[in-house]
Amino acid sequence: MCTACPCILLQLCIAAGATVRTTIDLPDDLLKQAKICAVQRGLTLRDLVAAGLRAELTRTNPTPLVGPRLPALSLPADAPVLRMSPAQISQALHLEEATSDAARIG
């Protein structure tokens, strides 16, 4: 067995065009869809995943991996929203929306 640093060994394998085993966690439904798609296309799951990664990595206008940046807000230090949990904020927004809808309806 090779005792070289795993990083160096990985770099050598990649440079030689060798494949590297890795493990990824996928949602069950996505994995099922991928397996079905691979069978329908006459591919192995490995080849389907590799093709998808290559396509994503070579896109000219890649989709951002993070959502749009939200505007920064300046709030007073004692603003009530700063003491609210995300669930409380969501509840308040839903209540405000329902109140607004009720007022609009009449």
pLDDT of 29 over the 60 cut: yes
What is the reported pTM? 0.45
Structure tokens of 76?
Answer: 């007073």
pLDDT at 97: 84
Q: With bands split at pLDDT 50, 70 and 90, how would you rate the model's confidence at 67?
A: low
Higher-confidence residue of 29 and 93: namely 29
Instruction: Give the residue carrying structure tokens 């989709």.
Output: 63
User: 53, 62 in Cβ contact below 8 A?
Assistant: no
Q: Give residue limits of the domains in the chain.
A: 24-61
Helix (H, G, I), strand (E, B) or coil at 72: coil
pLDDT at 4: 47
Angle, helices 45-57 vs 28-41, to 10°: value is 100
Contacts of residue 34, defined as CB under 8 A and 6 or more positions apart, other chains included, come to: 26, 45, 48, 49
